[in-house]
Amino acid sequence: MPDTSVAARPEARELTYGEAVNAALRRCLDERPDTLLYGEDIAKPGGVFGVTRGLRRDFGDRVFDTPISESAILGSAVGAAMLGRRPIVEIMWVDFSLVAFDQVVNQLANVRYVSRGELTAPVTIRTQQGSAPGACAQHSQSLEALFLHVPGLRVCMPWTAQDAYDLLVAAVASDDPVLVIENRTLYPAGKGPVALGGPVQTPGGLRVRREGSDATVVTWGAMTARVLAAAAGLADEGISLEVLETVWLNPFPTDEIVASATRTGALAVVHEANVTGGFGAEVVARVAGRGVPLRVPPLRLGLPDTRVPAAPSLVAGLLPGPDAVAGSVRDWLRT
Amino acid sequence: MPDTSVAARPEARELTYGEAVNAALRRCLDERPDTLLYGEDIAKPGGVFGVTRGLRRDFGDRVFDTPISESAILGSAVGAAMLGRRPIVEIMWVDFSLVAFDQVVNQLANVRYVSRGELTAPVTIRTQQGSAPGACAQHSQSLEALFLHVPGLRVCMPWTAQDAYDLLVAAVASDDPVLVIENRTLYPAGKGPVALGGPVQTPGGLRVRREGSDATVVTWGAMTARVLAAAAGLADEGISLEVLETVWLNPFPTDEIVASATRTGALAVVHEANVTGGFGAEVVARVAGRGVPLRVPPLRLGLPDTRVPAAPSLVAGLLPGPDAVAGSVRDWLRT
Amino acid sequence: MDGSQPLADLRQVWRMRAFEERVRELRLAGDAVGSIHLGIGQEGVAVGASCLIGPDDAVFATYRGHSWAIACGVEPEKLFAEILGRATGINGGRGGSAHLTAPGYRFFGENSIVGAGAPIACGAALAGRHDGTDRVALTVFGDGAMNQGAVHEAMNFAAAFSLPVVFLCENNSWSELTAIDEMVGEPQLWRRAAGYGMPGERIDGNDPEQVRDRLGDAFEVAREGGGPTLVEAMTQRLVGHYIGDADQYRRPGERERDAENEPVALLTRRLRDAGVPDDEIAGTERAAREEMDAASAVALAAPPADPATAKEHLYA
Amino acid sequence: MDGSQPLADLRQVWRMRAFEERVRELRLAGDAVGSIHLGIGQEGVAVGASCLIGPDDAVFATYRGHSWAIACGVEPEKLFAEILGRATGINGGRGGSAHLTAPGYRFFGENSIVGAGAPIACGAALAGRHDGTDRVALTVFGDGAMNQGAVHEAMNFAAAFSLPVVFLCENNSWSELTAIDEMVGEPQLWRRAAGYGMPGERIDGNDPEQVRDRLGDAFEVAREGGGPTLVEAMTQRLVGHYIGDADQYRRPGERERDAENEPVALLTRRLRDAGVPDDEIAGTERAAREEMDAASAVALAAPPADPATAKEHLYA
Ligand SMILES: Cc1ncc(C[n+]2csc(CCOP(=O)(O)OP(=O)(O)O)c2C)c(N)n1
Ligand SMILES: Cc1ncc(C[n+]2csc(CCOP(=O)(O)OP(=O)(O)O)c2C)c(N)n1
Ligand SMILES: [Mg+2]
Ligand SMILES: [Mg+2]
């Protein structure tokens, strides 16, 4: 892992997604003495994915390993934030957040509201999720919808290395609690120029990954790659998709999506989470609620409503890949 | 509390909602020796709401109190069910399920799927939720949407005393895990004839609480009362609402709702949960996804996206009552 | 022993008790609504602890936390107003009886999720390690909370990192309507401390003097970098779990024992033994009731929380 | 001591180790994918426990549970097939290496959520109380899991109700890449037992004989209604946390000590001392490797799990 310590000078560095996360953490630890960074295996070992390597060495005891105690990790983050620190904590897999979900929903999200802003809880929770070959049902879920039903909590999901950097820096700077959901399959990937040290962004906004006229496709996280691959293929067939990656899911860019869907007259949402109760429903409901006239009924694609099996052949039969996305979109637009 | 022990003879008894729950539990304990009933304060004290009174006396150590250990309660239910028991456990407030959400999502919901049915987990989780005057932010949430994003778990929400009885009996008889979400404000209410001992129902179905032609309103739980009150008022103004109470949310009666919305040309969903990410989004998305032609954009009403304050005057400003529901529906249909 | 300290203690016990008895009246009259949990009978613990809480310290309590808010110095008027859902409440009506928060008073709040305050307190202690204070975080919870996973995780977390946390278990024998001794294999709850590698002890929570002394040791150890301690303070609630609890689960002899042990009885005996005149003793109650009558009257006169503000302060 | 028992033990250790070494080859060759956690070096515990597990008992393991599945009698072929994602896998490919389940073999499964198996095991024990069996539930977890709330709740739950649960902590000094002794205030983890009111002890998990004996006592106590026990079995993993772990966090001298203590070394020494010929000792390894080569070959020849079945068995 290259030394990302020059983050403060605005310049572009060739970094993977994981290295971009590291660079963002380094910048935050460097610029904000009130930050703390902790979680399981993140300090001395540098993280199970190597993402936090070198930070303990360089920032000392503001960076530390913890027991396997997610309630203690998240709860202590709430308390440290109430008392003026700015903790950045890692929950190794989003699935594990469920052993301590109380601390997110009943504690963290209430701090500012109940105290009318007298107390705040600027906690950043980094986690990662998603399906990867061979992972079992307890290590494969995409759970963003659970967090998106919790008012008081900001949520983002970077897909590019640049966003892995920018969103995390924005999250740490935010005075609200923010959940940053990364994707472990991306850590070693996406090596490319990442601009470091730029201005700190404000939570919100989306990325227009592709402009198009036949349909608006809203997506986020690792599915973005599949959607873009599908869109590229469909373009050759003369189907022009507008691909919007909603890197921030709370706050959600409703207006921009409504505008795009109004222009294209068709809306699809593609995510890796189970379809029923997924955040795709919210996107469809918002657009429908605005009365956007659509040529075809809105389409939702995601993991069908099952658990996630371990065998690659089984998951492949469930989670739509680029071809399946393209096929579904093609069929949908032809009806 | 009247003696509900004659449950086995099909006959109507005058019972409150809470007494109907008691009668259902009594019947299940009576008819199924494989049932166990446990949770905090449910046995000797008969429950904090008195709902389980008398059951310990009559069914002995199959009914017992537990430590304040929701992970142990839910986890042990999973294990007991794997080994052939049929546990009925209580989580006193749905908010508390979050300290042990792992046992629901990562454990209970996976048992059948991962083992291809070699193991099953016929656990019934009874809980209650909702807003009641003076309750704090940690005792007021409506969290059904979280559970409805978990494939493998059935979910129902009785509103009438009869359904409190029937749904619970159906839940216990089901070979799937079922979450039964009651409402504490209803326990002492709704005294009326409840038919006991009838045939065991299968999970699924909905209740047409009112027929109408101008709009379909889907609702569930305690909001049903507010919606029916609003519908009665609007009827005097010549607005005819069809009110569908979806007592089962998983399985969800999509076809019936699509049929109704197709007939009325308008769809509203009203729930007590926060709007964003609420299950209302799913309902709207399903109807929209079927291409049902609607005269007006679908309407969602619920708790706005805030935490729940304790002061009655503050909650009243947030959660729509009958008048606010009527007002919103009136404005909506007039646009 | 001279009577001035026990007299001051009794005065404080009475302030807490008079406050809560007034709350009970307001609840029964319908001025306050919802579940309200009184700590009547348990005041000795908070009274004994109050002088230990330093300016940078942080207190985390439970839904049964009125007395702890008072111990931290929050004006009763603001607490009454909060419980009554008034605009002038310490949280403008958002917290209510069970979720009071007053950071300006070192009171980082009640918590209505059993056990959830313990890990949060660890964070307050952790913050102190980095902000240059000598903060001690005090987390107060019940006997039943000892069986909650979060409390376990917090105790190990604090012990592993030698955090300045004082874990104070108010053992009132009951968790809601269930007896703690039927819900554990070892009813001496303080014995769990050794497994975490921290000191633990059981004390008489009804005696503010003993609380001051023994809990004081725990504070001192924590403040000087010696890490956490678990203190199990034996006490009793003389009332139901919440206002409205029919409270019919008590064991034979329990009420009599409780009446003898509770802090008003204990301190009154001690004052009499020290020769303090009955009138002076009775004066503590009188003064407290007057204070609380006045404070509650002010709160009652305040307007309800304004619904128009209900959506504010969700985000920065 | 006569050599027949240690020889049988070594044979079993080798079956487990050869199984896992074959799994590692398959993973490195890309035939298996995903995170796979090997228990190489820890086999002594499962070998010692295997004969204690009665017909109605129930075993709950973790992601590091291949050896426990073998100890319960699951055919290696079905385990290989599962890990390889084949249709013939014990769970048809749904569980994979980290979520194996074989109820027909008393193996109620691995669990990939740290600590989550402990409360589930309490339920199995509870079921036994009502179904007329004398079931003991064995829950196996790591040192790191001791800091998880669910394990705490399970221990108290079992102790409070005297449930026949044996809590078996395989202490391999590491929780993933972090040393357990830095994550607790009291590294003698078995000492937590007293706080729950149950017996606890630390044993040498590398010695199947000792495991059989001491864990056997815990089984006996549980089976006879004496309630749960916490047994901390000291062991070591000779490999990384998962296949691919660079495993560079070991302390000075650790590897040497581990190599000396691990069950193959220990049993080999014991057999030599008992005068068992080297060839016979070596034969245990040879036989095991042959068995596992053959079993994995069968598994490799099986078709992948059929995607068309992926949605089945979600509901009744
Ligand atoms: C996680 C959780 N489970 C259950 C409850 C419901 N509940 C509220 S108070 C209480 C009893 C707590 O007993 P104890 O810890 O002894 O405190 P006490 O009320 O006696 O002060 C319970 C079970 C809750 N609030 N949170
Ligand atoms: C609740 C939870 N937190 C974190 C993890 C990630 N994780 C998997 S294994 C492991 C280490 C467990 O250590 P230990 O209990 O000692 O078992 P060992 O792996 O040594 O057998 C961790 C942290 C998890 N699976 N579940
Ligand atoms: Mg108590
Ligand atoms: Mg370990």
Q: Domain containing B241 — which CATH number?
A: 3.40.50.920
Per-window interface: D 159-198 vs A, CB < 8 A: 175-178, 182-184
| Among the partner residues D58, D91, D127, nearest to B116 by beta-carbon distance | D91
Of A196, A191, A195, A222, nearest in space to A1 by CA:
A191
Atom of ligand 2 nearest to the CA of A41: 23
DSSP B271-329: EEEESTTSHHHHHHHHHHHTT---SS--EEEEE-SS---SSHHHHHTTS--HHHHHHHH
- Smallest CA–CA distance, residue A103 to chain C, in Å, is 7
- D37: which DSSP letter? -
Q: Confidence band (pLDDT; 50, 70, 90) for B5?
A: low
Centroid of ligand 2 to alpha carbon of B196 (angstroms): 48
Domain co-membership, A171 together with A259:
no
B151 neighbors D314 (Cβ within 8 angstroms)? yes
Residue B8, pLDDT above cutoff 90: no
**A88-A89-A90 Cα angle (round to 5):** 130
A195 neighbors A27 (Cβ within 8 angstroms)? no
Segment A86-108 shows an average pLDDT of 98
| Among the partner residues A72, A74, A114, nearest to C95 by beta-carbon distance | A114
Pocket probe mutation, ligand 1, options C68, C176, C237, C250, max atoms within 8 Å of Cβ: C176
Lowest mean pLDDT among A20-29, A185-194, A273-282, C172-181: A185-194
Q: How far apart are CA A251 and CA A248, in angstroms?
A: 6
Contact D307 A316 (CB under 8 A): yes
Domain boundaries C4-302, CATH class: alpha beta
Domain co-membership, A132 together with A252:
no
D168 neighbors D215 (Cβ within 8 angstroms)? yes
A79 neighbors A121 (Cβ within 8 angstroms)? no
Rg (CA), chain B: 20
Residue B1, pLDDT above cutoff 60: no
Full domain range(s) for residue B159: 9-195
Give me the torsion for CA of A179, A180, A185, A190, rounded to 10°.
Answer: 170
Neighbours of C259 (CB within 10 A): 13
* Dihedral sign from CA coordinates of A206, A210, A212, A216: negative
| Among the partner residues D33, D113, D182, nearest to A134 by beta-carbon distance | D33
Q: How far apart are CA D47 and CA C18, in angstroms?
A: 65
Whether residue A249 is contained in a domain is answered as yes
Domain co-membership, B189 together with B217:
no
C229 touching chain B per CB within 8 A: no
Q: Looking at this predicted complex, what is its ipTM?
A: 0.98
For chain A, what is the mean pLDDT?
96
Q: CATH number for the domain including B52?
A: 3.40.50.970
Q: How far apart are CA D55 and CA D105, in angstroms?
A: 9
pLDDT value of position B195? 97
For chain C, what is the mean pLDDT?
98
D124 touching chain B per CB within 8 A: yes
C106 neighbors C58 (Cβ within 8 angstroms)? yes
Q: Confidence band (pLDDT; 50, 70, 90) for A333?
A: very high
Give the pocket of ligand 2 (CB within 6 Å).
A 40, 68, 70, 92, 96, 99; D 62, 64, 112-114, 141-145, 172, 174-176, 241
Q: Confidence band (pLDDT; 50, 70, 90) for A5?
A: low
Domain co-membership, A156 together with A243:
no
Cis peptide upstream of residue A251 (ω within 30 degrees of 0): yes
Instruction: Give B6-26 as a 3 state SS string.
Output: CCCCCEEEEECHHHHHHHHHH
Q: Confidence band (pLDDT; 50, 70, 90) for B6?
A: very low
Bridge partners, B248 (sequence order): B156
pLDDT in tens, A287-324: 999 999 999 999 999 999 999 999 999 999 999 999 99
Whether residue B187 is contained in a domain is answered as yes
Contact B136 C96 (CB under 8 A): yes
Domain co-membership, A182 together with A222:
no
| Among the partner residues D157, D182, D191, nearest to C195 by beta-carbon distance | D191
Residue A210, pLDDT above cutoff 90: yes
Bridge partners, D138 (sequence order): D59, D166
Structure-block tokens of residue B194: 């409840």
C299 neighbors C81 (Cβ within 8 angstroms)? yes
Contact D306 A313 (CB under 8 A): yes
Of A87, D192, A315, D52, nearest in space to C198 by CA:
D192
pLDDT value of position B57? 98
Which chains reach chain B with 3 or more Cβ–Cβ distances below 8 angstroms? A, C, D
All residues of chain C having their beta carbon less than 8 Å from the beta carbon of residue A106 are 113, 116
Segment A205-215 shows an average pLDDT of 98
Instruction: Encode burial over B305-326: b for 16+ CB neighbours within 10 A, e otherwise.
Output: bbbbbbbbbbbbbbbbebebbb
A325 neighbors A272 (Cβ within 8 angstroms)? no
Contacts of B322 (CB under 8 A, 6+ apart): B225, B226, B227, B229, B230, B233
Mutate to test the interface with D, among C186, C188, C230 (most CBs of D within 10 A): C186
D275 neighbors D3 (Cβ within 8 angstroms)? yes
Mean pLDDT by 10 residues, chain C (316 residues): 90 98 98 97 98 98 98 98 98 98 98 98 98 98 98 98 98 98 98 98 98 98 98 98 96 98 98 97 98 98 97 97
pLDDT value of position B3? 53
Q: State the amino acid at position C288 in one-letter form.
A: A
Bridge partners, D228 (sequence order): none
Residue A9, pLDDT above cutoff 80: no
Phi-psi region of D73 (alpha: psi -120 to 50; beta: other; left: phi over 0): left
Of D29, A296, A116, nearest in space to B307 by CA:
A116
How deeply is C309 buried, as exposed, middle or buried, from its count of CB atoms within 10 A (0-12, 13-18, 19+)? middle
Domain co-membership, A177 together with A217:
no
Domain co-membership, B177 together with B241:
no
- The residues of B carrying an active-site annotation are 139
Segment D252-281 shows an average pLDDT of 97
Contact C101 A118 (CB under 8 A): yes
Contact B139 C35 (CB under 8 A): yes
Nearest CA in chain B to A115: B309
The protein residue whose alpha carbon is closest to atom 21 in ligand 2 is D142
pLDDT in tens, C72-124: 999 999 999 999 999 999 999 999 999 999 999 999 999 999 999 999 999 99
Whether residue A202 is contained in a domain is answered as no
Q: Which is higher by pLDDT, A189 or D237?
A: D237
Where a domain ends, among B143, B169, B195?
Answer: B195
Nearest CA in chain C to D200: C195
Bridge partners, D9 (sequence order): none
Pocket probe mutation, ligand 2, options A68, A91, A98, max atoms within 8 Å of Cβ: A68
Whether residue B1 is contained in a domain is answered as no
Centroid of ligand 4 to alpha carbon of D98 (angstroms): 15
| Among the partner residues D149, D183, D192, nearest to C195 by beta-carbon distance | D192
Q: Confidence band (pLDDT; 50, 70, 90) for A247?
A: very high
Nearest CA in chain D to B117: D313
- Smallest CA–CA distance, residue C83 to chain B, in Å, is 8
Centroid of ligand 4 to alpha carbon of C191 (angstroms): 26
Contact C194 D191 (CB under 8 A): yes
Centroid of ligand 2 to alpha carbon of B216 (angstroms): 49
Q: Which ligand is nearest to the CA of C145?
A: 1
Domain ranges within chain C, ordered by starting residue = 4-302
Helix (H) / strand (E) containing D204: strand D200-204
* Dihedral sign from CA coordinates of D29, D32, D37, D41: negative
pLDDT value of position C2? 78
Phi and psi dihedrals of A27, rounded to 5?
A: -60, -45
Pocket probe mutation, ligand 2, options D114, D141, D236, max atoms within 8 Å of Cβ: D114
Segment D224-247 shows an average pLDDT of 97
Of D64, D99, D110, nearest in space to D239 by CA:
D64
Structure-block tokens of residue A271: 């995510």
pLDDT in tens, B224-235: 999 999 999 999
A with C: how many residue pairs have Cβ under 8 Å apart?
A: 147
C302 neighbors C85 (Cβ within 8 angstroms)? no
pLDDT value of position A27? 98
Q: How far apart are CA A325 and CA A38, in angstroms?
A: 38
Q: How far apart are CA C44 and CA C205, in angstroms?
A: 6
Domain co-membership, B131 together with B267:
no
pLDDT value of position D59? 98
Instruction: Encode burial over A293-313: b for 16+ CB neighbours within 10 A, e otherwise.
Output: ebeebbbbbbbbbbbbbbbbb
Q: Are strands C174-175 and C178-179 parallel, antiparallel or unpaired?
A: antiparallel
Question: Dmax of chain C from CA atoms?
Answer: 58
Q: What percent of chain B has pLDDT over 90?
A: 95
Whether residue A3 is contained in a domain is answered as no
Whether residue A2 is contained in a domain is answered as no
Residues in chain B: 335
Pocket probe mutation, ligand 2, options D176, D180, D241, max atoms within 8 Å of Cβ: D176
Number of folded domains in chain A?
2
Give the pocket of ligand 1 (CB within 6 Å).
B 40, 68, 70, 92, 96, 99; C 62, 64, 112-114, 141-145, 148, 172, 174-176, 241
Q: Are strands B154-156 and B248-250 parallel, antiparallel or unpaired?
A: antiparallel
Strand, coil or helix: what is A124? strand
Q: Which of A13, A56, A139, A154 is catalytic?
A: A139
pLDDT value of position D165? 99
C197 neighbors C161 (Cβ within 8 angstroms)? no
Q: How far apart are CA D50 and CA D212, in angstroms?
A: 8
Centroid of ligand 2 to alpha carbon of D25 (angstroms): 23
Where a domain ends, among B144, B168, B195?
Answer: B195
All residues of chain C having their beta carbon less than 8 Å from the beta carbon of residue B309 are 93-94, 96, 305, 310
Of A177, A146, A151, A181, nearest in space to A163 by CA:
A181
Segment D222-230 shows an average pLDDT of 98
Contact C175 B40 (CB under 8 A): yes
Domain co-membership, A120 together with A182:
yes
Cis peptide upstream of residue B251 (ω within 30 degrees of 0): yes
Which chains reach chain C with 3 or more Cβ–Cβ distances below 8 angstroms? A, B, D
All residues of chain D having their beta carbon less than 8 Å from the beta carbon of residue A311 are 85-86, 89, 92-94, 96, 304-305
Segment B312-317 shows an average pLDDT of 95
pLDDT value of position D1? 59
Q: How far apart are CA B166 and CA B161, in angstroms?
A: 9
Where a domain ends, among B137, B161, B195?
Answer: B195
| Among the partner residues B74, B80, B152, nearest to D126 by beta-carbon distance | B80
